[in-house]
Structure 1
Amino acid sequence: MDRKWTVGGGAVLVAVLGLAGTLAVLPLASGQSEEEATGQEMQWDACPEDVSDPLAQLQCATVPVPLDYSDPDGEQIDLMISKLASGNPDQRRGVLMLNPGGPGGTGLDQPNFMVSQGVPASVLNSYDLIGMDLRGVGHSAPVSCGFTNDQEYYGAIPPYAVDEAAVAEQAKVAEGIAEQCAANDTEGRLRHISTANMARDLDRIRAALGEEKGSFLGYSYGSALGAAYASMFPETTDKVVLDSNIGDTHLDQEGLRRYAHGMEETFPDFAEWAAARHDSYGLGSTPEEVRDNYFSIAERLDETPQAGLNGHLFRLSIFAALYNERSYGQTAQIWQSLLDPDGQAAGGQAVESVPEADNSELSPTDNTWSVFLAVTCNDVEWPEDVETYQQAVAEDREEYPLFGAASANISPCAFWQEPLEPPVEINTDGPANVLVVQNQRDPVTPLRGGELINEKFGDRSRLVSIDGSGHGGYVLGTNPCALNVTTSFLVDGTMPEQDVTCEAAG
């Protein structure tokens, strides 16, 4: 998903994705009327020191919400939000709530990040940009599974499974992780970390800010959150932009397996880039040779790890490198060394941030991984039998040989407690206010995800399909067509009359 979407441990591996009952019909479900929530006086102050704010532009505040929305008067938790105020109050149309992906990515610095990426001044004038740590994240009642640096656990994607036995072995690890999370959940918060509750939180934040409607821009997992928000609260959402799409309101086994599809679609861009630079890097003189070299190195590292880098981590690092073309050069440098049996130095670069085995301190990614698991496992029921995953691995190893045996492997979600409610269903009964932005070649959220969510929203949405590569289309990408269409939608409310295909940037 974008810069905050965690796919593994260490710097190279972080780049690197109608309800039943009364819960679906409560607009706030927080024990307060909308008038009471809207009338609250927000207490804004300086943001915490660990929030990146070099120009001291941001203000932070907390918003109380119920831990359990079925018990709105019960335990409350505080969510921390940030604000970058509109640069021109006369042009201000409301608030634009931001989500960087994950789930589990901190978002308090997201307004500043968007500015650093060049978000147009017209957007900065039209909105107060609102960042936030979602429930369970960072400064918002954080949760922990107790992941430590000495654990061989690398986040969202399980290790590449070379055969059925490897899936069975991973099942033992996955079950242990689920048990560890349950044992560390001493405050009983993990069960309530879900996309549905985060969408309810968004509407609670919108009301606390005194806004009749709220706009939303979400990347990667943020697309799922935004889809849930627009579905649960169609009358209080204004403009909703879903960028780099999972394909639904939740990530399930099929969604995770689409990572493999995305890598197959995006890898040729890297292979073509590398082949054109064969004289410099020697990875292959044609895209086909580059692909062959990928398999050769991965299989060799499966048998004999080099400089601490095994086949699983090599595949994962290449997957992460496809998020952004700016990563290609460093990736080619590391890969070049691995073609040489004496290439220890660059191989070491790829794994230099993998936790040391003798360090049992909490991992710096403990919170991110914990929230990812909680949301992913709480949103939808996952298959529980190992054989289902063994079959999926066998199928995807054949259909998507670059990465399929990793993303189809068994997750701790197979051993998680039952979800408290069904996943959020896409609501087609609402305003036409959803813009779906999608690169045609994206390793983690492939084009099919954008097509799926656009199909599900029907007349409520339009798809902006970009002939481009990488993760992130609006502002994070370089396509002028996508930038212009999305900015017009946010600033002027201009919804395209039909789906838009943006040609490759020149």
Structure 2
Amino acid sequence: MDSRRLFRTAAVAFSAFGLLLSGCTDGGTAPAASASGTAATREELEPYYGQRLAWKACGVPDFECATMKAPLDYARPGGKQIGLAVARIRATGPGKRIGSLLVNPGGPGGSAVGYLQGYAGIGYPAPVRARYDMVAVDPRGVAHSEPVECLDGPAMDAYTQVDTTPDDRREQDRLAAAFKNFAAGCAKRSGAVLPHVSTVETARDMDILRELLGDRKLHYVGASYGTFLGATYAELFPGRTGRLVLDGAMDPSLTTAELNRDQTAGFETAFRSFAADCVRRRDCPLGTGSPTDAAARLKTLFERLDAQPLRTGERRRLGEALATTGVIAAMYDESAWPQLREALARAQRGDGADLLALADGYYEREADGTYSNLMFANAAVNCLDQPPAFSSPEDVRKAMSSFEKASPVFGEGLAWASLNCAYWTAEPTGTAHRIEAGGAAPIVVVGTTRDPATPYKWARSLAAQLSSGTLLTYEGDGHTAYGRGSDCVDTAINAYLLDGTVPPSGKRCA
């Protein structure tokens, strides 16, 4: 598997991340601290805040696209620039336009432009789209914004198949070599941008965009990792923070190792929910006993695939690593559970094609064998935002029991996968810390009780940290809550976005 540090709304990806210290802030103009902590003045940044966006039709009906410029290094704003892809769809009316609503689907590495054009710009509730221009910017290093590149298709195929549950020293060395090769590929292909894709820098890019859009305050909906991005913006620019919805929230106060371990437990919780549903069905491929029995059968399947990968109808075979990725991908949305049941049933019959398809969706692998830059950007941002979870294989072995306690099924693989940033070439620039964002307007934090990728306790923690945070709870399955079928959640968030009405403290939705 890959970095295990991914948070997204699409049901295909996951893991943990870190936080970059932002330096001092104020209620209006925050110094433009770079990852290294050096600050640029507003005067030095004026060429960026004063630029004009040249909007053009961009192939999707009613959408406009533009490219905004930002300094590659905020400590040296007069140096190299980076181009960032922006898209929008105008407010449809009726009703008075409120402003722009910036959206981010998470990742890090998810394309916000793709999310806007494929879903948010046409699928968000009509009253919200009526009164906001829906806007997205691909973060630096992502998709259309000077994307980080690391491996070609064949090399990425090999990387995704490396065994993440090494049985001996030889397999352990092979896994470490795969992480080193991945990091070296990123450095070779994208070395100039790697030190400048931090979450703080992306948040500062968002403030430039806010001004270019003509908005006094930033209104924003961020999902998964996007909640960390939104919280970071609020910390940097509390006086410019408008209506922020942070859905599927992160806890920025935790270290990478703590986040990874918590998320491991989150996937165990989600799998137990799936298993409880499955074993009530006569055709459950994991039997009709208890969820614990089902977990044991899945573990046995993984062990069998470790020893003897399955045919898939193509040159790649389904080993334990890809099978685990496929199962985890289906945990993001309960609507994928029927597909997972069929995929497991086919695997039990010796055909790994369906689990491979789930894994390919997670990795955004196309039928022609090419990959999007999702996983490359994911690692680049995460490995920069916080020190690695583990620095050596010995560290992994010391922590193994806690990961296996968190998840008997997924713990071993996720512990080893947490080693990836140990070999990164760009030095990490941040550390875990609480985000309070004192002086910011009310912020709505949304948590789902059985969220696999961003455990519910993270939402509780972030809402408590934020000086103006309010927690909205969704009692259910899947990753994130807004726009996923709960009228209670959608009504509460819509009222906040449209009228500024904050949900009552402790509000829970089913």
AA aligned opposite 1:491: L
Say if 1:249 and 1:226 are closer, same or farther in 2 by CA, change over 3 A.
farther
Count of paired positions = 479
1:452 Cα deviation from its structure 2 partner: 2.1
Summarize deviations over 1:113-162 as a string: whole Å, max 9, x none: 4458742222112211101211111221222123432345557x985425
Paired position in structure 2 for 1:42:
53
Aligned residue in 2 for 1:198: 202
Q: Secondary structure at the match of 1:276?
A: coil
For 2:323 and 2:198, the matched residues in 1 are separated by 31
Aligned mates of 1:236, 1:94 — CA distance in 2: 13
Residue 202 of structure 1 and its aligned partner are, at CA, apart by 0.5
2:382 aligns with 376
Match of 2:472 among 464, 486, 496: 464
Deviation, structure 1 residue 222: 0.7
- 1:130 partnered with 2:135: yes
Which of 402, 408, 416 is matched with 1:395 structurally? 402
- Relative to structure 1, the CA distance from residue 120 to residue 34 in structure 2 (aligned partners, 3 Å threshold; closer, same or farther) is farther
CA distance in 1, matches of 2:475, 2:95: 36
**Distance (Å, rounded) in 2 between the aligned partners of 1:486 and 1:338:** 41
**Structure 1 stretch displaced more, 164-173 or 253-262:** 164-173
Task: Give 1:366 deviation, angstroms.
Answer: 5.1
1:353/1:479 Cα in 2 relative to 1: closer, same or farther (>3 Å)? closer
Partner residue of 1:11?
none
Tell me if 1:331 matches 2:340.
yes
Structure 1 residue 39 displacement after superposition: 5.4
Residue 3 (structure 1) shift: 4.4
Higher alpha-carbon deviation: 76-85 or 29-38 = 29-38
1:146 and 1:266 mapped to 2: Cα distance? Answer: 31
Matching of residue 452 in structure 1 with residue 461 in structure 2: yes
Q: Which amino acid aligns with 1:397?
A: E
Please list, as runs of the form range in 1=range in 2, the aligned pairs for 1:62-77 lying within 5 A after superposition.
62-77=67-82
Select which of 22, 25, 31 maps to 1:26. Answer: 31
Local SS of the residue matching 1:128: strand
SS in 1 for 2:113: coil
CA change 1:34–1:213 in 2 (3 A) is farther
**Is contact 1:220–1:246 with CA below 8 Å preserved after alignment?**
yes
Alpha carbons 1:16, 1:320 under 8 Å: kept: no
Identity among equivalent positions (%) equals 30
Verify the 8 A CA contact 1:111 1:130 in the aligned structure 2.
yes
Q: For the Cα contact (< 8 Å) 1:271–1:291, is it kept in 2?
A: yes
CA 1:421–1:162: 2 relative to 1, 3 Å: closer
Q: Which residue of 2 aligns with 1:407?
A: 414
State the Cα RMSD in Å: 3.2
CA drift of 1:31 comes to 6.0
Normalising by structure 1, what TM-score?
Answer: 0.86
CA deviations on 1:354-404 (whole Å, 9 max, x unpaired) are 78xxx9x99633522221111001111124232112222232123311211
C-alpha distance after superposition, 1:196-224 (max 9, x if no partner): 10000110110111111111111111111
Give the TM-score normalised by structure 2.
0.85
Asked if 2 retains the 8 angstrom alpha-carbon contact of 1:228 and 1:424, the reply is no
Do the aligned residues in 2 keep the contact of 1:195 with 1:249 (CA within 8 Å)? Answer: no
Q: Residue 218 of structure 1 contacts residue 242 of structure 1 at CA under 8 Å; is this kept in 2?
A: yes
Instruction: Note if contact 2:8-2:110 (Cα within 8 Å) is conserved in structure 1.
Output: no
Map 1:8-407 → 2, pairs under 5 A: 19-20=22-23, 25-26=30-31, 32=43, 40-47=51-58, 49=59, 53=60, 56-88=61-93, 90-115=95-120, 118-152=123-157, 159-163=163-167, 165=169, 166-186=171-191, 188-248=192-252, 252-279=256-283, 283-307=287-311, 308-340=317-349, 343-344=350-351, 347-351=352-356, 364-365=370-371, 367-382=373-388, 383-407=390-414
Where do 5+ consecutive residues of structure 2 fail to align? 1-6, 34-39, 312-316
The alpha-carbon deviation at position 4 of structure 1 amounts to: 4.7
Deviations 1:222-279 (A, max 9, x none): 1111111111111111011111122228982322222211112111221122122224
Paired amino acid for 1:19: S
Deviation at 1:90, TM superposition (A): 4.3
Q: CA deviation at 1:34?
A: 8.2
Gaps of 5+ in 1: 9-14
d(CA) in 1 for partners of 2:41, 2:254? 23
Compared CA separation, residues 407 and 281, structure 1 to 2 (3 A) = closer
Secondary structure of 1:315 counterpart: helix
How far is the alpha carbon of 1:99 from its aligned partner?
A: 0.5
SS in 2 for 1:322: helix
Q: Is the 8 A contact 1:149 1:363 kept in 2?
A: yes
Mapped contact 2:221–2:245 kept (Cα < 8 A): yes
Q: Which whole-Å CA distance do the structure 2 matches of 1:115 and 1:176 have between them?
A: 36
